[in-house]
Each structure stands twice: as C-alpha cells, then as structure tokens.
C-alpha cells in the first residue's frame, strides 16, 4: 500500500502534457500576430524549398494553404469571434478538422455550404440519421454530450470542437475543460443553433468563421424572412383575441410551459397557451382542465417519444392514427378545436432544432389561416432541403411531418 502511494505521488509530480497544434499564424515568423507580406512570401519560398528542392523546413502543405488563406481572406490577421456563450475565440487558421457534438450545428454548417469533408467526427445521434445525414455514416462517432468518447475526439485530431452554449452547460463545460487541459490547441466553439432568439445572429457569426459571408447572408435572410413574416403577422393581435392553443408533448396529457422551447414557438406563432404558467417544463395536466380551457386549436407533437413520421419514414397513416385517437378522448367532442376539426399533428424534426422556422410557420398558418394564407411552409421546407441542405429529399414522396 505504501509503495503504491509513492508511485501515485511520483506520477502526479511528473505530469507530462505534450503541446499539440502550434499556436499562432503559420508563417508568422516574428510572432507579432500579423502575417505581413514579407513573412508570407518567405514562408512560401521556404515551403517550395522544402517540397521541391530538398531543403529542410517545418511548414507543410496544410500550413502553407492556411497561411495563404489567412493572408488573402483575413488580411494577414487572426480572426476573433465571440460565440454564443460569450467567450472570445481567436482563430489563427481556418477550420480544417471539425468535430460537432450537436446535430443542429452540423446542419447549420451544411446550410452555409461548409465542406462536409472537413467535419471529421459527429455525435452519435447524427451518426444514426442515415437519411438526413447520409455522409455521416463514414465519419467517426464521438458519443453524446452526456457520454462523450474523449479518446475518439482526440484521436481524430480536431482543430475545432462545437458544443452547445446554453443547454447541457455542465456537461459541455466539462468537455471543454478536459479538451483545453489536454490539448490547448483545440478551439472550442459554443453554439446552440436552435433558439429563435439567437439563431439569426449565430448564422452570421458561423458564416464569418468559415468565410461564407455571402451564403450566410442568403441563408440568414431566408430564415429571417420566414420568422419576420410570422412575427409581423401576429404582432398586432391583442391578447384576448389570440387563438387558444393546447399543445401536447409526446406523452399523453403532458403539455408545455413557459420554460419549454415549444411554448416559445407557440407564442411566437401568436398562440395563447393556457398552461404556460406551469412550474415545470412539461407539466402533466388534469384532463378536465383541457376541456375547461376550450382550446381553438390542438397541436400534438410526434417524434422521439412518439415515433411516427419525420425524416425516417413516409407514414401519413401513423400520424392520422395519432390524430384520430385525440378525437376519441372522453369529453373532447365538446372542445372547439375538435368541433372545427382544427387538430394537427406535427413532428419534432421540424419544430425543434435548426428547422424550427418551418414548424413555426405551420403553427402560424394553423392558428391564423386567413392572415397567413400566402405563407407556404411546405415550399419553405422543400427549398431548405434542396437549396441549402443540398440533400435529395422530395417532400411529396418522402417523410411525413404534419398532418393534415
């Protein structure tokens, strides 16, 4: 026992943490943080000397490409970005090997035209989505935020890791801490990419990081125009005239309250949720209370906890079945929503995550069909998939996201 103790103490004293990726702009010989023209020129010459004429030097091809990029696009200076958690990250090179721990940031990168070959590892949930992320099958799987495979992350030698900013903070902070402790050269960026309040800004920030500002603007205005349309269309409705909505989560009689994202989207679409004041995120309500509240529209969420439809399957019958069980609930025939047939099923794939603008558009259209007669969520969805995501997915024959 004593001997083991000594060994441990010795080990603790001899912590050997190797330095990893070199900091600083490649080719910045005087280390002043700026790649001047002269420095760049001599770096290129040194590289050519090494590569073609047998000289010795420590800059390789990737270094020179990065130096060229920094010189041309960033004006020779490192780029500073502020991510969604407020931390300032300095980039000395463009992103070359990215690990994403969230499907939302991965999807956003794809919308912005990022070269997906530069994403070297993804989280396990994205890894499983073979229809939506067909290219992820061959990428490394780094587990989930709560159960990350740190060894895998390190072994793909990333230069950037993307984590959530405002949710799962304890877990994300922990991953960030461990990465920074063992490999100081890895940059950790925190982005949510699913919150209506921050997504537009995040699109532009990420676009600037990957030098796709044009495409970024395009996507941001595509996203923004839909959301602005919804906001403007509902801005002037007085509180007591808002459509009463009962939003049901995956589980029966479980609704959403103020702290839940789905409630935020319901209210964005101009709906009024009588149960918004619950203390927990997903309160279970008394069935009688629903009848008393007499909602004008009922929205049922399908998805993970209630698997049917989504990108995985073209399954309108399943969603239809869900809808009919709602009609058959005891006492529900008295509810306005049921009388008017305004009962809808929507899949979380388009209401949570980065595609929330599509789902919110559907909500707005259901709550106020006259005001949003010209809004076509289906077309928005298809454009998103074809033009921005670049996947071959025809909504007419694949996937089911809403019913009816």
Partner 1 sequence: MEQHVIIQEGYTRLKKTRALFIVGLLSALVVLVGVAVTLGSADLTVGESYLAILAGLLPGVFSAPDLATTIVWDFRLHRVLFAVFAGFGLAVAGSVMQGILRNPLASPFTLGIASAAAAGASIAIVLGAGVAGGEYLVIGNAFLFSLLAALAIYGMARYRGIGSETMVLAGIALMYLFSAVTSLLQYVGSAEQLQAVVFWMFGSVDKSSWPKLGIVALILACTIPYLIYRAWDLNALAEGDEVAASLGVPVERSMTVLMMIASLITAVIICFTGTIGFIGLVAPHITRMAIGSDFRTLLPASGLVGALLLLGADSIARSVLAPQVLPVGIVTAFLGVPFFIYLFMHRRNA
| Chain residues that interact with partner 1, rule: CB under 8 A | 1, 5, 8-12, 14-18, 20, 124, 141-143, 146-147, 149-152, 154-155, 157, 167-168, 170-171, 173-174, 177-178, 181-183, 259, 279-282
Residue 180 is classified by DSSP as H
CB of residue 348 to partner 1, shortest distance in Å: 13
> Nearer to partner 1 by C-beta: 168 or 382?
168
Are 287 and 351 contacting, i.e. CB atoms less than 8 angstroms apart? no
What angle, rounded to 10 degrees, do the helices at 37-53 and 61-73 form? 160
Closest to 277 (Cα-Cα) out of 293, 257, 305 = 257
CB of residue 181 to partner 1, shortest distance in Å: 7
> Nearer to partner 1 by C-beta: 18 or 54?
18
Helix, strand or coil for residue 145? coil
Query: Which residues are within 8 A (CB) of 255 and not within 5 positions of it... i.e. 6 or more apart?
Result: 246, 247, 248, 249, 273, 275, 278, 282, 283, 285
> Nearer to partner 1 by C-beta: 149 or 217?
149
CB of residue 170 to partner 1, shortest distance in Å: 6
Q: Order of strands across the sheet with 271-272?
A: 271-272, 243-248, 297-302, 343-347, 402-403
Radius of gyration of the chain (CA): 25
In angstroms, rounded to a whole number, what is the distance separating the alpha carbons of residues 14 and 228? 58
CB of residue 188 to partner 1, shortest distance in Å: 15
Strand partners, 163: 190
> Nearer to partner 1 by C-beta: 8 or 48?
8
> Nearer to partner 1 by C-beta: 146 or 339?
146
Structure tokens at 332: 């529900």
Residue 363: phi and psi, rounded to 5, are: -60, -50
CB of residue 169 to partner 1, shortest distance in Å: 9
> Nearer to partner 1 by C-beta: 169 or 336?
169
CB of residue 59 to partner 1, shortest distance in Å: 18
């Amino acid at each position: 026992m004593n001997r083991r103790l000594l060994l441990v103490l010795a080990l603790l004293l001899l912590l050997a943490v190797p330095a990893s990726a070199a900091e600083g702009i490649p080719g910045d010989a005087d280390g002043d943080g700026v790649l001047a023209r002269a420095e760049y020129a001599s770096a290129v010459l040194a590289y050519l000397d090494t590569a073609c004429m047998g000289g010795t030097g420590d800059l390789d091809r990737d270094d020179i490409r990065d130096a060229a990029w920094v010189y041309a696009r960033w004006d020779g200076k490192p780029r500073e970005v502020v991510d969604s958690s407020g931390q300032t990250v300095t980039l000395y090179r463009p992103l070359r090997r990215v690990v994403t721990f969230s499907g939302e940031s991965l999807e956003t990168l794809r919308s912005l035209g990022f070269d997906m070959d530069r994403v070297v590892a993804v989280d396990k949930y994205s890894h499983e989505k073979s229809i939506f992320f067909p290219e992820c099958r061959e990428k490394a799987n780094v587990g989930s935020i709560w159960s990350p495979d740190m060894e895998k992350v390190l072994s793909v030698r990333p230069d950037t890791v993307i984590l959530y900013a405002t949710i799962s903070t304890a877990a994300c902070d922990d991953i960030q801490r461990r990465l920074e402790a063992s490999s100081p050269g890895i940059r950790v960026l925190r982005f949510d990419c699913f919150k209506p309040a921050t997504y537009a800004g995040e699109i532009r920030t990420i676009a600037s990081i990957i030098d796709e500002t044009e495409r970024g603007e395009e996507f941001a205005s595509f996203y923004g125009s839909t959301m602005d349309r919804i906001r403007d269309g509902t801005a002037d409705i007085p509180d007591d005239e808002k459509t009463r909505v009962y939003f049901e989560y995956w589980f029966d009689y479980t609704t959403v309250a103020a702290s839940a994202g789905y409630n935020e989207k319901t209210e964005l679409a101009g709906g009024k949720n009588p149960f918004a004041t619950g203390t927990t995120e997903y309160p279970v309500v008394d069935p009688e209370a629903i009848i008393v509240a007499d909602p004008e529209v009922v929205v049922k969420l399908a998805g993970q906890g209630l698997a049917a439809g989504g990108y995985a399957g073209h399954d309108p019958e399943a969603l239809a079945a869900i809808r009919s069980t709602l009609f058959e609930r005891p006492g529900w025939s008295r509810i306005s929503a049921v009388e008017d047939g305004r009962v809808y099923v929507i899949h979380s794939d388009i209401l949570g995550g980065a595609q929330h603008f599509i789902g919110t558009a559907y909500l707005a259209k259901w709550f106020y069909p006259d005001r949003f007669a010209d809004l076509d969520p289906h077309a928005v969805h298809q454009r998103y998939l074809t033009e921005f995501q670049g996947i071959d997915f025809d909504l007419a024959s694949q996937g089911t996201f809403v019913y009816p």
